[in-house]
Structure 1
């Protein structure tokens, strides 16, 4: 492992390179200007290369200096970000929300501005996860599945119905009220077969007879499936409430008629031990209220 130079020399160089003067660097680090000069000289001696071109005024960084500054900018930037997050957590102003990626992309992100406006003093951290991944810890947890015992709230409705883009319907001479599922490409999600409605289970639950011969496009994430539907590639299934932003703007059309009812859905809860924490509880109630409208 390569031996690293002393931290005091690196911080002195980083401050001087950013500010452009030793005086400003000294003020930032609360030391004397000669001390900054000595630290940079020691760093250059350690590296055996000049970091500043002192043959002109004002001095400029050498190529070695530019390379080091670039590396330090990334490293110190990560440190500054981590320190800021640690301080915010220590002050109780960070709330982490974990949710399935489809819920994050199509329900939470369209409402993120409202959520931040409602809690201006709280840093909200969003973690999305794909189906099948281990549940990652969060202060507010949104999961998809069957209801479980405990303190949790069901979000969104229980209806599952087909949706397609107006472009796709128009190309086939169909509409949201007049359509033929047997002549449409069915968009599916491979992980749906164990915990979500796929098309065979939807046809059974909705009491619709399925005709054979549909073209099928299979995806490994709901986000990909929705993007394919928006691009006019076929018809997909939607849980009531998930794609409201697209339905309201007309980017998606709900196919009227049969729909399935499922006891599975999105459930909201606070991580064990944090239910009484005020910011967590307030954000949990905000999401629950929005989800049940």
Structure 2
């Protein structure tokens, strides 16, 4: 089959990201019915349902999850490529390597303000799905880890990890606010890198051991893990600052009042090649000094 129409894909990505046809229409500066028609046309073209038309928010189907992950990554890459093509010769170019999750949930909405304040700097984004899958071709790496295990030659904290168990409100409302009730709820597991033991860490001082995950509750991609929670499939461990937009929109809510602060966090790391790069240092300071 031919590649899907890009206009249909961007409408789907916006609707999936916002969980709303209305907010997607506002972002793309079109009427809400246009978004609905484009998503429907894409579903017809692919022969599968991508979005569940629920109220007040739409949700992704399993097939929609797969496509959203691919499209979200592609849009980041296309945006970066477009900036590369259009950049002025007098601009300083800084390559930032970051995860799709951090870019989608935190960085993308803040970058326009930086670009307005520093029009002389061009930010080129390289996105990755795995936290430690960064390569050598970057001036700045945004990494989630313990401060003793960070890449680069210098680093500054963006925000520290505050673990919180979260779920779709309909799921959260069924779970009493106790560690024992949480341990028996449908826990979803992120089984990649330094996240494989997160639930054991969260329950470490409670005397409880969460049951091992069944295969359908294990995820190797943060974006798919997050989407499973948005779909109401179970409870995930998230980070207060990273998921704040989802809390504000009522898409996710904390399951219990329990919070766990660790020494880990999101750090902006300066690579060796950028040690004397003034533009890279400006981005580093901006990320570290910004209000979470």
Q: 1:114 to 1:165 in 2, by over 3 A?
A: farther
Distance in structure 1 (CA, Å) of the matches to 2:95 and 2:176: 41
Runs of 4+ in 1 over 3 A off after TM superposition: 81-92, 174-179, 194-197, 210-216
Structure 2 residue runs of 5 or longer lacking an equivalent are 1-79
Q: C-alpha separation between the residues in 1 aligned to 2:92 and 2:207?
A: 50
Q: Which residue of 1 aligns with 2:161?
A: 158
Helix, strand or coil: the match of 2:238? strand
> What secondary structure, in the 3-state scheme, does the structure 1 residue paired with 2:203 have?
helix
Superposed, which structure 2 residues align to 1:27-176 within 5 Å?
A: 85=84, 88=87, 91-131=90-130, 132-148=132-148, 150-170=153-173, 172=174, 174=175
Q: Residues 166 and 87 of structure 1: is their aligned pair in 2 closer, same or farther, counting only changes over 3 Å? A: closer
Specify whether residues 175 and 276 from structure 1 end up closer, same or farther in structure 2 by C-alpha distance, changes over 3 A only: farther
Q: What's the counterpart of residue 185 of structure 2?
A: 184
Contact 2:189 2:213 in 1 (8 A): no
Assess if the C-alpha contact under 8 Å between 1:183 and 1:214 holds in 2.
no
Report what 1:65 is aligned to: none
**Separation in 2, partners of 1:83, 1:268:** 24
Partner of 2:250: 250
The equivalent residue for 1:271 is 271
Normalised to the residue count of structure 2, the TM-score between the two structures is 0.60
Gaps of 5+ in 1: 1-80
Question: Retained in 2: the 8 A contact 1:98–1:136?
Answer: no
SS in 2 for 1:156: strand
Work out whether residues 159 and 259 of structure 1, in 8 Å CA contact, stay in contact via their aligned partners in 2. Answer: yes
Aligned to 1:186, the other structure's residue is in SS state coil
Q: Indicate conservation of the 8 Å contact 2:91/2:122, yes or no.
A: no
Q: Give the match for residue 65 of structure 2.
A: none
Q: Distance in 2 between matches of 1:197 and 1:102?
A: 19
Alpha carbons of structure 1 residues 209 and 83: separation in structure 2 relative to 1, 3 Å? closer
Q: Distance in 2 between matches of 1:252 and 1:84?
A: 33
In the alignment, does 2:214 pair up with 1:217?
no
Instruction: Please name the residue that 2:50 is paired with.
Output: none
Render the CA deviation track for 1:97-124: whole Å, top value 9, x for unaligned.
1112221221112323323333333322
Q: Which of these two proteins has the greater Rg computed from alpha carbons?
A: 1
RMSD: 3.3
Q: Residues 219 and 91 of structure 1: is their aligned pair in 2 closer, same or farther, counting only changes over 3 Å?
A: same
Are the counterparts in 2 of residues 156 and 242 from structure 1 also a CA contact under 8 Å? no
CA distance in 1 between counterparts of 2:198 and 2:179 reads: 22
Tell whether the 8 Å contact from 2:160 to 2:262 is kept in structure 1 after alignment: no
Residue 201 of structure 1: CA displacement? 2.9
Instruction: Give the aligned length.
Output: 208
Which residue does the alignment assign to 2:280?
A: 280
> How far is 1:90 from its partner?
5.5
- 2:236 corresponding residue in structure 1: 236
